[in-house]
């Protein structure tokens, strides 16, 4: 059975409360995973005073499919509205902390097939892939001898 999880993007984003919107926008602006206390620091000037307000907004956004907790970096990222989270994979740069999302339907289908064959029932299936982002690779190539060309 295929999950019907595409987000009704405009409806969902338009229906956010003020606090949900502030948290969602802060995560979109960050472009990386942020913990609740990082978010609180960024949002204090906007009226957030305590971590539970941030957690509440994060939980609600998570329920709407707009925010996801990444276990590998212990932080939250904003999902691009309209993307089905079940068909996504996250690229997590281990140098600069940037998190980006790619649609990976083929990967998801292959994973599902393998899991079904193994009789395994996953609680979630969103791959988090650590590595080096394009920007960091470019910086690396300019500043240091390339590893790939060394024999």
Considering the complex, state which of residue 39 and residue 93 has its C-beta at the smaller distance from Zn ion: 93
Segment interacting with Zn ion, rule: CB under 5 A, options 35-43, 67-75, 89-97, 108-116: 89-97
Phi, psi angles (nearest 5°) of residue 130: -75, 150
Is 8 a binding residue for Zn ion by CB under 5 A? The answer is: no
- By CB under 5 A, how many residues form the interface with Zn ion? 6
CB of residue 96 to Zn ion, shortest distance in Å = 3
Find, among 76, 83, 50, 78, the residue nearest to 66 by Cα.
78
Which of 95, 102, 103, 131 contacts Zn ion by CB under 5 A?
95
Q: Rg of the chain's alpha carbons, rounded to an integer?
A: 18
- Alpha carbon distances (Å) from 44 to 55, 61, 62, 67: 14, 19, 21, 20
Considering the complex, state which of residue 28 and residue 136 has its C-beta at the smaller distance from Zn ion: 136
Beta bridge partners of 77: 68
Residues that bind Zn ion (CB under 5 A): 93, 95-96, 98, 133, 136
């Amino acid at each position: 059975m295929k999950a019907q999880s595409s987000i009704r993007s405009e409806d969902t984003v338009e229906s956010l409360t003020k606090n949900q919107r502030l948290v969602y926008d802060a995560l979109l602006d960050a472009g990386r995973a942020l913990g609740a206390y990082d978010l609180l620091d960024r949002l204090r000037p906007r009226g957030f005073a305590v971590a539970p307000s941030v957690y509440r907004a994060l939980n609600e956004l998570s329920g709407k499919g707009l925010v996801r907790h990444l276990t590998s970096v212990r932080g939250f990222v904003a999902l691009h509205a309209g993307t089905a989270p079940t068909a996504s994979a996250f690229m997590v740069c281990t140098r600069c902390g940037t998190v980006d999302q790619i649609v990976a339907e083929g990967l998801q289908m292959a994973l599902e097939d393998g899991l079904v064959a193994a009789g395994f029932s996953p609680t979630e299936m969103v791959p988090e892939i650590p590595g080096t982002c394009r920007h960091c690779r470019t910086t690396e190539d300019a500043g240091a001898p390339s590893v790939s060309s060394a024999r």
